[in-house]
C-alpha cells in the first residue's frame, strides 16, 4: 500500500469520532519534494468532504490555488517577495553533485547545514506572524498534518494543542526514535532512505548500522542544534517546549513506509 493511503487511514482514524467534516491544518514547507506527498493526501481528504487549510507563503498562494483549488489557504510573509528558500531549492541537486565530487562528506554536511538553516528561516517567519497564529488558534482545527523533518508542523501542533500526523514512518535523522524511545533493532528495521528491506544479509545489516550512525550523527550535529536555536527564540512567547527532541515527541502518529 502507498504512503498516501496509509496516511489517509491514519487521519481518518483520528477523526472517526466525528460525523461532520473535519477541519485539517497542513503546516509544512510547500517548496520541498516532501510537499508533493502531503499535497496528494490533502487533496484526497478534501475530496472526502473535509476542510483542508494549508499554511503557505503569501507569494505562493496564487500558484497553489491554481494547482490545488480544492484546498484553502492561510498565508504569511510579503506577497511580493518570494522566500529565499524557493530559489535555494532549485539549486540543491547541482550543489549536491558539486559537493559530492569536490569536497566529499564535508561538502555535503555543509550543504545540509545550509539547507536546514534555510528551512528554519522560513519556519521562523511563519511562527513569528502573531496575527496568523491567533487566527489559527481561533479557527479550532481538529488535526495538524505535516511531514517528518525540519518544519513548523510540530511547533504549530503543540501551540494549537492538536494531534499531529506525519507523512513518514520515521525521520531520516532519527530524532523521533531517540525522543520516543521506540525500539529500533537495526538488524530488522531499515534506516529511512537506505533502500533496504526488513530481510537483510549480513553485509546489508552492516550497511544499515553505518548509515544509521551517519544519519543520527548528522541530525544531532546539524538539525538538532539549529532547531533548538529556533525553538528557544520563539518558545518564550508561544509557551512551548524548547528542545527539538521534546517537540518531536509530540508526534501522535507516523504513517507506515511504502
pLDDT band at 258 (very low <50, low <70, confident <90, very high): very low
Residue matched to cell numbers 554536511: 109
Go through the domains of the chain in sequence order and give each one's CATH number: 3-254 (3.40.50)
Residue 71 pLDDT:
95
Percent of the chain at pLDDT > 70 equals: 61
pLDDT-derived band at 50, boundaries 50, 70, 90: very high
Q: What's the mean per-residue pLDDT of the chain?
A: 75
In 3D space, the residue among 32, 245, 23, 3 whose CA is nearest the CA of residue 118 turns out to be 32
More confident residue, 11 or 233: 233
* Rounded percentage of the chain residues whose pLDDT exceeds 90: 17
In terms of average pLDDT, the best of 3-7, 107-111, 116-120, 189-193 is: 189-193
Q: Highest mean pLDDT range out of 28-42, 84-98, 173-187, 226-240?
A: 28-42
Amino acid at each position: 500500500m502507498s504512503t498516501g493511503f496509509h496516511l489517509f487511514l491514519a487521519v481518518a482514524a483520528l477523526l472517526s469520532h466525528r460525523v461532520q467534516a473535519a477541519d485539517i491544518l497542513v503546516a509544512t514547507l510547500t517548496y520541498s519534494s516532501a510537499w508533493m506527498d502531503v499535497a496528494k493526501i490533502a487533496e484526497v481528504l478534501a475530496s472526502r468532504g473535509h476542510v483542508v487549510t494549508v499554511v503557505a507563503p503569501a507569494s505562493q498562494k496564487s500558484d497553489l490555488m491554481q494547482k490545488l483549488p480544492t484546498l484553502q489557504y492561510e498565508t504569511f510573509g510579503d506577497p511580493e517577495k518570494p522566500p529565499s528558500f524557493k530559489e535555494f531549492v532549485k539549486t540543491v541537486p547541482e550543489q549536491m553533485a558539486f559537493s559530492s565530487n569536490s569536497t566529499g562528506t564535508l561538502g555535503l554536511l555543509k550543504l545540509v547545514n545550509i539547507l536546514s538553516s534555510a528551512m528554519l528561516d522560513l519556519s521562523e517567519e511563519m511562527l513569528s506572524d502573531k496575527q496568523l497564529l491567533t487566527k489559527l488558534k481561533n479557527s479550532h482545527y481538529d488535526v495538524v498534518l505535516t511531514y517528518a523533518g525540519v518544519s513548523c508542523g510540530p511547533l504549530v501542533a503543540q501551540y494549537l494543542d492538536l494531534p499531529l500526523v506525519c507523512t513518514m514512518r520515521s525521520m531520516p535523522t532519527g530524532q523521533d526514535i531517540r525522543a520516543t524511545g521506540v525500539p529500533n533493532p537495526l538488524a530488522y528495521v531499515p534506516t529511512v532512505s537506505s533502500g533496504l528491506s526488513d530481510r537483510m544479509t549480513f553485509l546489508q545489516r552492516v550497511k544499515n548500522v553505518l548509515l544509521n550512525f551517519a544519519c543520527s550523527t548528522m541530525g544531532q550535529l546539524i538539525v538538532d542544534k539549529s532547531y533548538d536555536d529556533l525553538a528557544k527564540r520563539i518558545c518564550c512567547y508561544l509557551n512551548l517546549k524548547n528542545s527539538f527532541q521534546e517537540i518531536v515527541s509530540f508526534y501522535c502518529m507516523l504513517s507506515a513506509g511504502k
